[in-house]
A and B are shown apart, each in its own frame.
Chain A
């Protein structure tokens, strides 16, 4: 099984020096791209490869690139979204800490394909080791002539900068990221205009995920067909898959796209910890819908997971076991989204804290009959089309699917409350109260 993204990562995760990286074939794609290919031919290989964005949305990378006007005057920007902050997601950290040259190589080739002259790595502040390793690798790349003016004598120039963030989930949203890079609050922008046309400082800009750009050198070296064949399904390539939660061996593995949830959970993560049963999992980070036991044989790729009612997202799965409270699990997720809402649009700013309050009151045994109706209401009114960006709709994914698959878990809190309420009532009224409620 080929693992192009991780095969040269050392066991102790120390990054390769430039020289070591070149000995593994590193920077060959830069030579090939700059000397034998044109921006148009690189773009068409990437499009043919069927590479889809690994940051969560899964949009075709080639298609995204094709919206950049090639004749626009400079500057043009290429930005790597390395602000990994989706709860339960820990995949880009590995590539940033342990394979910085692979990312830089992918950035050079991509920038050439887009004729971008300035690039930024927007790095999560918490990734201190990644920051050190990238700074070192960037300097090596400058010294070797892979970055800067007239790269390898090709006439192509590229400057690269690193910006470490100051902590806000919103910065992962590409237009909010642009605002943050411009020194503003990280609130999302209206689209259109799309960043490809008017992005950073009003100039054409592409924002791609770390894992996406790390695939580019391999696609250029080995071709679109090879990349397609790495996968078991029609969604191309390998993917970094992770598992966290109460499994025997939580971890991160590069595996073919289209591996089943069961293989990932049982063969790689070693199954559940002793005494625990699998109840469900968010397949790709906090803002994806729960999948449950009946979905264990679903293939982990964009199309199959979407057909099962969820999203591949970041490909890092969070497992829910039978001894962990579903309501607590969802409350923790909503608490995060409520805190990280930028407050720019009303449904998200007001709705998420409201949901958090309801879930907390359920947990505390103060739930009311109307609570589940209110939760259902929110899953619709904070859903797609009702908010400015994807934060609140993303937050609704685990909630709506938990209400669908684990409704009894929510109801039991209310039922317990009813028993308490009904205490001391005459037997007949007590029965009537409980019957009325169960109809609801």
Chain B
């Protein structure tokens, strides 16, 4: 069941658009913010609330990079893998993060602390390599800083 808070937030988003379905991306974002990811049950509930089929909503949910249709950890590590970061050697950062967390791209640590994902250009190319953890952007990242950065997230 969608919580009252979720329903309230979704209904606020619906007010901005001419028909309910048009707010479905906002609704996915809202529910994901509360539950970390979009389960089949969440998907069906959102779809029913917006008068659309679960299949139609899933076609939207699976299209976008930042809607998670699988469980994710408490914190999401997004490594920029685009051109400027590649030129500046992001692959070393990637290998070091994978080694420290003992996971590959798309995986979650056993303690559910981190999920690691590759990510296209973060738009801070003059400070490459870059990564984001949750809402925090890290720039000019070096391997030496990684332990410090990761330790901020529990």
| Residue with the highest number of chain A CB atoms closer than 10 Å, among B28, B81, B83 | B83
B121 touching A324 by the CB < 8 A rule?
A: no
Partner of B83, one of A166, A169, A336: A336
Contact with A along B115-128 (1 / 0, CB 8 A): 00001111111111
Nearest residue in B to A86 (C-beta to C-beta)? Answer: B121
| Smallest beta-carbon distance B104→chain A, Å | 17
Partner of A88, one of B29, B121, B132: B121
Given contacts A88-B125, A250-B127, contact A318 B87 (CB under 8 A): yes
| Smallest beta-carbon distance A338→chain B, Å | 11
| Smallest beta-carbon distance A164→chain B, Å | 8
Interface 9-residue window, one of A59-67, A180-188, A422-430: A180-188
B82 touching A286 by the CB < 8 A rule?
A: yes
| Smallest beta-carbon distance B150→chain A, Å | 19
B121 touching A183 by the CB < 8 A rule?
A: no
The total number of A-B Cβ pairs within 8 Å is 129
Nearest residue in A to B121 (C-beta to C-beta)? Answer: A87
What interface size band does chain B fall in?
35 or more
Bound CA span A128–B33, Å: 14
Kindly state whether residue A68 has any CB partner on chain B within 8 Å. Answer: no
Contact with B along A40-52 (1 / 0, CB 8 A): 0000000000000
Given contacts A201-B18, A252-B126, contact A332 B83 (CB under 8 A): yes
| Residue with the highest number of chain A CB atoms closer than 10 Å, among B18, B87, B128 | B87
| Smallest beta-carbon distance A13→chain B, Å | 12
Partner of B22, one of A89, A182, A329: A182
Interface 9-residue window, one of B64-72, B93-101, B106-114, B141-149: B64-72
A88 touching B82 by the CB < 8 A rule?
A: yes
Nearest residue in A to B61 (C-beta to C-beta)? Answer: A166
B25 touching A85 by the CB < 8 A rule?
A: no
Interface 9-residue window, one of A119-127, A136-144, A231-239: A119-127
Kindly state whether residue B59 has any CB partner on chain A within 8 Å. Answer: yes
Bound CA span A329–B83, Å: 7
Nearest residue in B to A164 (C-beta to C-beta)? Answer: B29
Contact with B along A91-134 (1 / 0, CB 8 A): 01100000000000000000000000000000011111100000
Contacting residues, chain A, for B120 (C-beta < 8 A)? 85, 87, 167, 169, 336, 339-340
Query: Can you spell out 17 A-B residue pairs with CB atoms less than 8 angstroms apart?
Result: A88-B82, A125-B66, A126-B137, A166-B64, A169-B120, A185-B60, A201-B17, A243-B126, A244-B84, A244-B126, A246-B88, A250-B125, A318-B87, A319-B87, A332-B82, A332-B86, A336-B83
Residues of A within 8 A of B (CB): 84-90, 92-93, 124-129, 161, 163-169, 180-186, 201, 242-246, 250-252, 282, 286, 316, 318-321, 324, 328-329, 332-333, 335-336, 339-340, 342
**Additional 5 contacts, C-beta under 8 A, given A183-B24, A319-B87, A342-B63:** A87-B83, A126-B119, A169-B120, A243-B126, A336-B121
